[in-house]
Amino acid sequence: MSDTRPLIEMKNIDLIFGTFQALKDVSVSFDSGELVGLVGDNGAGKTTLIRILCGMHAPTNGEVYFDGQKINRFNPRLAIDLGIETIQQAVGLCNNLSIARNFYLGREPVKRRFGLPFLDFEKMRKKSESVIREFGLRENVSADDEVEILSGGERQSIKIGHAVEFKNRVIIMDEPTNHLSVREREHVNRLAVQLKEQGLLVIYITHAINQVHGISDRIVILENGEKITDIKSRDCTAEELINIIRHGGRVGLAENRG
Amino acid sequence: MRGAIKRFSKRQDFGAIASAGIIFIVFSVIDPSGWLSLSTLANVSHFSAILGFLAMGEALVLISKEIDLSLGSIYGLVGVAFITLAESLGIVGAFFAAMVLALLLGGINAFIIMRGNLPSMIVTLSTLFAYRGIIYVWTGGTIKSFSEAARAHWLTRLFGGEFFGIENAVVWAVLLLFILNTILQRTRTGNHLLAVGGDAESALSHGVNVVRTKSKAYLLAAGLAGLSGIITLCDKPQTHVTLGTLMELEAIASAVIGGCILTGGRGSVIGALIGAFIITSVRYELIALGAPSAWFITFVGIVLIVAVLFNQALSRWLLRSSA
Amino acid sequence: MTASSYKQFFRQHHEILVVGVAIVLVALFVTISRGMWASPYNLASILQVTATLGIMALAESLVITSGEIDISVGSTFGFSAITYLGLVPHLGSAAALIIALAAGFGIGALNGFLVVWFRLPSLIITLGTLLIFQGLCIAVTAGFSFSIPWAHRKNFVYQVLGGGNFLGVNTAVFWMLGLFILFQMILFAMPYGNRLLAVGGSSQTAHSRGISVKRVKFAAFALCGLLAGFAGVLEAGKLGFADGSMGRLMELQAIAACVLGGCALAGGRVSILGVLMGTFLLCGIQSFLVIMGVQPQWFMLVLGIIVVSAARADRVFRDWVLRGA
């Protein structure tokens, strides 16, 4: 928040898949050192919006700026290079790979022998194990075990641990507390705040308004592909937000307070 | 009128129909005496029909998002069975026995795939080998053919003879085309086939019996392939062990050229038959123009790739233009 | 080891199944044939066939692991073989090798380009290239004699590339072993292998991690074509002549070997040892049938039954291993 210019600016974003319009004229910006809650009912377009930011979709219309630079190409490699890490719901782990291999997928550490790149298994194992144990991996599971055998919560832990380990400038969390116990959830939420305090931008998608209201600086509500609310958390209550979502955006905050 | 033309161009098999038309015109122009002769057209339509049976069956399987690589072997095996059994069971008996065999072979495919929960490509690849192997074992490599009496039998004439100058195979193919197309477009079975190919889970949640529907596709395809084998032998009663080798590849090529997509849920039996026509007529004309027969194989490969590219571009354009 | 850790080992090493089956079958073969199957001469001939088919199976396994399929490997094999044989008398073995390998690589690259760039189904595209190059093979060999004059057969490079023996077996066997070791390293100890497995397991996840799924798959196809071309060169060297039917049905056998070896057809799971064992098993079974006097006509039937049984056994094994995990 020391920069006058927002870290990410999205202007008039449309995203159309064939005949279906997922995002309609959405404009929103995000700053470093901010925790923004992105909320809305199912199908509102939250995941779609962040998929643009992590490079998996290109907007049909509109512009995206990162650190003042216009983004012309959208692919995950670029997003990662810009410093955007994501915890996604449907995607993020390969069942057929071990924990260690999943952890380092895309940025495998190598030891060179005769000039050829060989995977540095020792580093992969040690680092991934230590990070993930922090997030609740069972004692009898090792980094060489296949992800396939893990429970939902453990898989989530790997995704979170991975994002934390490779954090850079932006962390996007799409329903990060899925499958987690109450204690684990609190851990994740504390973590999100810590990351924000370290100066990162944290975008937090969730259905749990009460949870995110307490930890966020700002709330953005999407409904049917449109942004209907963008307000600082301290300027509203969680109940007001829930009310807006329940009524599909047909009730504004002004009416709420009336 | 404009609306009707636009709707026509959105058909899955539009590319195939247009291409067939263009090919017909081009051949008529560059080789009028050879191409437009009655004997050539009769031959082309006859062999298009033979391949077309397999292509239509393959189309049904592809629509249900499966694949059948064993149709060529079924074609050959059922044909061999027909001729071999004719001595002991008589023509009519052999016909029924052979058709039952065809359904049995298709049923084996369906059973192993559905019950064994195995990918259709591997299973039908194996049955391609297995059924072809049975041909080898059964015939021992020898050639069988019909007696004079058998050739004159009414059933043989029914399938292998002529109808006002048109080979019966063609008549049967058109008839079956009509039946299959009606099944596909206007009956519950057809609807289920399309649904299961498009999104099997959705179909299942709507109460469609996915296993039964896909099995029907395999049975129909096998039956068609078997019928085609019988018809072939009614026309030219002589077996050889390589009967039908690689025909399944040509059948798949025909179906794909005709507009079937491998991701299932869409396709056209009309297109498949037209695809068979395209492949057969190109083969004929190439040979007639003096090209060595090997060029035909290469040409089919090129046409296949171009057709897939074209169909893909067409469906993407359709998706965008309807927005 | 506890029960669960047994299952864990099996889960990560599917090839246990085929190795176990191979051991049992070898024991059976040797016993029933009263040692004939295991005679040095017979073993050498089995190994020879295993060598070229093994390299083909290795090639195929790369594409299958990435989640695609390549049924044109047989045509690539034949086309490279013919190219090699056609050019040896004119350019010498070394130059002919390079051109033949380039041809194989080119066909693989063509497949990769069409599948990856235009997002077309690999089964259909490789069916197309199968037909294209099979036609070319037949067309080129019709009326042309493609055999190597004796003078060239003594050439050292020619001998090294399948034309001669080393330690009693055809040099192709050593090439196969070398390639298998190389690819074991590439697939399991190098970054490319990790990404290839990821692409086969979940291409969406791989994509989200910044991996170029396109490039990984293209490389798989290109390598496949290169290896298939090399196998063709080795076979041509061994036979000394070629005809238009070379390689026909080899793709089916290569896929069969992969299935036997525990490769997941949907991609993401492969075992080099499994592919080797699968190939060896296929060739060993065939040899056994020959020794026992079974007529060649039964081979196709037996092959079909073997592949289905192997696929089913693998599925059952997999379900068992995943249960109670």
- A positions 126-185 inside 8 Å of C (CB): 145-146, 148-149
B268 in any annotated domain? yes
Concatenating the DSSP letter of every residue in B65-76 gives T---S-HHHHHH
Q: What is the mean predicted confidence (pLDDT) over A90-107?
A: 90
- pLDDT at B323 (0 to 100): 45
**ipTM of this complex prediction, to 2 decimal places:** 0.86
Nearest CA to A86 among C206, C208, C201? C208
Decide if C273 contacts C188 (C-beta within 8 A).
Answer: no
- Name which of B125, B253, B295 is nearest C252 (Cβ-Cβ): B125
B143 in any annotated domain? yes
Question: Does A24 touch chain B if contact means CB atoms closer than 8 Å?
Answer: no
Q: Which residue has the higher pLDDT, C258 or B25?
A: C258
Is a pLDDT exceeding 60 seen at residue B175?
Answer: yes
Q: What is the mean predicted confidence (pLDDT) over B107-118?
A: 93
Residue B284 corresponds to which amino acid?
Y
pLDDT single digits (tens) A176-187: 888 888 888 888
pLDDT single digits (tens) A195-231: 999 999 999 998 888 888 889 999 999 988 888 888 8
Q: What residue numbers bound the domain in which C183 lies? A: 15-319
- Name which of B118, B126, B299 is nearest C315 (Cβ-Cβ): B118
Q: If pLDDT is split at 50, 70 and 90, which confidence band does A256 have? A: very low
- pLDDT at B307 (0 to 100): 85
Q: What residue numbers bound the domain in which B75 lies? A: 48-273
Q: What is the mean predicted confidence (pLDDT) over A147-152?
A: 83
pLDDT single digits (tens) B229-243: 988 888 777 666 667
Is a pLDDT exceeding 70 seen at residue A51?
Answer: yes
User: Considering only CB atoms, which chain A residues are within 8 Å of B323?
Assistant: 16, 18-19
Nearest CA to C137 among C234, C247, C253? C247
Decide if C132 contacts B301 (C-beta within 8 A).
Answer: yes
Nearest CA to B306 among B23, B19, B34? B19
Question: Does B319 touch chain A if contact means CB atoms closer than 8 Å?
Answer: yes
The torsion angle over the Cα atoms of residues A179, A182, A183 and A187, rounded to 10 degrees, is 70
Is a pLDDT exceeding 80 seen at residue B319?
Answer: no
Highest mean pLDDT, choosing among B81-85, C124-128, C156-160: C124-128
Nearest chain B residue to C133 by CA: give it: B298
B120 in any annotated domain? yes
Decide if C21 contacts C281 (C-beta within 8 A).
Answer: yes
C3 in any annotated domain? no
Nearest chain A residue to C209 by CA: give it: A106
Tell me if C298 and B141 make a contact (CB, 8 A cut-off).
no
- Name which of B122, B129, B301 is nearest C311 (Cβ-Cβ): B122
Nearest chain B residue to C110 by CA: give it: B305
- Name which of A90, A94, A104 is nearest C201 (Cβ-Cβ): A94
User: Considering only CB atoms, which chain B residues are within 8 Å of A19?
Assistant: 319, 322-323
Q: How far is B274 from chain A (nearest CA, A)?
A: 29
pLDDT single digits (tens) C307-322: 888 888 888 888 887 7
Nearest CA to B138 among B94, B69, B83, B70? B83
Q: How far apart are CA B122 and CA B132, in angstroms?
A: 15
B279 in any annotated domain? no
Highest mean pLDDT, choosing among A160-169, B5-14, B101-110, B266-275: B101-110
Q: How far apart are CA B96 and CA B102, in angstroms?
A: 10
Question: Does B320 touch chain A if contact means CB atoms closer than 8 Å?
Answer: yes
- Name which of C202, C207, C212 is nearest A95 (Cβ-Cβ): C202
Q: How far apart are CA A22 and CA A10, in angstroms?
A: 15
The SS3 assignment for B145 reads strand
Nearest chain A residue to B319 by CA: give it: A18
Nearest CA to A189 among A174, A172, A203, A176? A176
Tell me if C201 and A101 make a contact (CB, 8 A cut-off).
no
Neighbours of C252 (CB within 10 A): 20
Is a pLDDT exceeding 60 seen at residue A106?
Answer: yes
Nearest CA to C124 among A102, B151, B259? B259
- Name which of C128, C306, C315 is nearest B305 (Cβ-Cβ): C128
Concatenating the DSSP letter of every residue in C247-282 gives TTTHHHHHHHHHHHTT--TTSS---HHHHHHHHHHH
Q: If pLDDT is split at 50, 70 and 90, which confidence band does B44 have? A: confident
Tell me if A76 and C209 make a contact (CB, 8 A cut-off).
yes
User: Considering only CB atoms, which chain C residues are within 8 Å of A117?
Assistant: 190-191
> What's the total number of domains in chain B?
1
- pLDDT at B150 (0 to 100): 67
Q: How far apart are CA A82 and CA A73, in angstroms?
A: 12
Tokens read off for C277:
């064992």
Tell me if C197 and A97 make a contact (CB, 8 A cut-off).
yes
CATH number of the domain bearing residue C84 = 1.10.3470
Q: If pLDDT is split at 50, 70 and 90, which confidence band does A11 have? A: very high
Tell me if C189 and A105 make a contact (CB, 8 A cut-off).
no
pLDDT single digits (tens) C261-275: 888 888 899 999 999
The sheet with strand A69-70 has its strands ordered as A20-30, A8-17, A61-66, A69-70
- What distance lies between CA B265 and its chain's CA centroid? 18
Domain boundaries, chain A: 8-93+167-257
Is a pLDDT exceeding 70 seen at residue B148?
Answer: no
- What distance lies between CA C204 and its chain's CA centroid? 28
Q: How far is C186 from chain B (nearest CA, A)?
A: 27
CATH number of A8-93+167-257: 3.40.50.300
pLDDT single digits (tens) C152-192: 677 777 777 777 777 777 888 999 999 999 999 999 999 99
Q: How much of chain C, in percent, has pLDDT values that exceed 70?
A: 95
- pLDDT at C4 (0 to 100): 61
Q: How far apart are CA A5 and CA A222, in angstroms?
A: 23
Is a pLDDT exceeding 70 seen at residue C50?
Answer: yes
The 3 state secondary structure assigned to chain A is CCCCCCCEEEEEEEEEECCEEEEEEEEEEECCCCEEEEECCCCCCHHHHHHHHCCCCCCCEEEEEECCEECCCCCHHHHHHHCEEEECCCCCCCCCCEHHHHHCCCCCCEEEECCEEEECHHHHHHHHHHHHHHCCCCCCCCCCCEHHHCCHHHHHHHHHHHHHHCCCCEEEEECCCCCCCHHHHHHHHHHHHHHHHCCCEEEEECCCHHHHHHHCCEEEEEECCEEEEEEEHHHCCHHHHHHHHHCCCCCCHHHHHC
- pLDDT at A252 (0 to 100): 59
Is a pLDDT exceeding 50 seen at residue A1?
Answer: no
> Mean pLDDT in chain B?
84
Q: Which residue has the higher pLDDT, B174 or A245?
A: B174
Q: How far apart are CA C291 and CA C268, in angstroms?
A: 38
Tell me if B304 and C124 make a contact (CB, 8 A cut-off).
yes
The SS3 assignment for B317 reads helix
Is a pLDDT exceeding 60 seen at residue C93?
Answer: yes
Is a pLDDT exceeding 60 seen at residue B93?
Answer: yes
Nearest chain B residue to A16 by CA: give it: B323
> Mean pLDDT in chain C?
87
Q: If pLDDT is split at 50, 70 and 90, which confidence band does A258 have? A: very low
Tell me if C301 and B304 make a contact (CB, 8 A cut-off).
no
Residues of chain C with a CB closer than 8 angstroms to some CB in chain A: 8, 11-12, 185, 189-191, 194-195, 197-198, 200-202, 204-212, 264, 268-269, 322, 325
User: Considering only CB atoms, which chain A residues are within 8 Å of B10?
Assistant: none
Question: Does A19 touch chain B if contact means CB atoms closer than 8 Å?
Answer: yes
Highest mean pLDDT, choosing among B20-24, B81-85, B220-224, C311-315: B220-224
Q: How much of chain B, in percent, has pLDDT values that exceed 90?
A: 26
pLDDT single digits (tens) C95-125: 999 999 999 999 999 999 999 999 898 988 9
Concatenating the DSSP letter of every residue in B261-276 gives -TTSS---HHHHHHHH
C2 in any annotated domain? no
Mutate to test the interface with C, among B62, B69, B125 (most CBs of C within 10 A): B125
User: Considering only CB atoms, which chain C residues are within 8 Å of A116?
Assistant: 190
User: Considering only CB atoms, which chain C residues are within 8 Å of B252?
Assistant: 124, 127
Q: If pLDDT is split at 50, 70 and 90, which confidence band does B322 have? A: low
> What's the total number of domains in chain C?
1
- Name which of A54, A96, A104 is nearest C197 (Cβ-Cβ): A96
Is a pLDDT exceeding 70 seen at residue A250?
Answer: no
Q: How far apart are CA C307 and CA B129, in angstroms?
A: 10
User: Considering only CB atoms, which chain A residues are within 8 Å of C190?
Assistant: 110, 116-119
A-B contacts at Cβ under 8 angstroms:
8
Q: How far apart are CA A187 and CA A135, in angstroms?
A: 8
Is a pLDDT exceeding 50 seen at residue C325?
Answer: no
- pLDDT at C145 (0 to 100): 64
- Name which of C191, C205, C206 is nearest A108 (Cβ-Cβ): C191
> Which residues are CB-contacts of C218 (< 8 A; sequence separation ≥ 6)?
C109, C112, C113, C116
Q: How far is B197 from chain C (nearest CA, A)?
A: 16
Question: Does B88 touch chain A if contact means CB atoms closer than 8 Å?
Answer: no
Q: How far apart are CA B60 and CA B62, in angstroms?
A: 5
Q: How far apart are CA B224 and CA C233, in angstroms?
A: 41
Q: How far is A22 from chain B (nearest CA, A)?
A: 13
Nearest CA to C78 among B294, A7, B263, A162? B294
B318 in any annotated domain? no
Whole-model pTM? 0.89
- pLDDT at A42 (0 to 100): 80
Question: Does A16 touch chain B if contact means CB atoms closer than 8 Å?
Answer: yes
Tell me if C132 and B301 make a contact (CB, 8 A cut-off).
yes
Q: Which residue has the higher pLDDT, B239 or A40?
A: A40
Q: Which residues of B73-108 are buried (b: 16+ CB within 10 A; e: fewer)?
A: bbbbbbbbbbbbbbeeeebeebbebbbebbbebbeb
Sign of CA dihedral C147, C151, C152, C156: positive
Q: How much of chain B, in percent, has pLDDT values that exceed 70?
A: 92
Is a pLDDT exceeding 90 seen at residue C302?
Answer: no
- pLDDT at B71 (0 to 100): 94
C10 in any annotated domain? no
Q: How far apart are CA C80 and CA C285, in angstroms?
A: 28
Q: How is residue B163 annotated by DSSP?
A: E
Q: Which of A86-90, A182-186, B314-318 has the lowest mean pLDDT?
A: B314-318
Is a pLDDT exceeding 80 seen at residue B163?
Answer: no
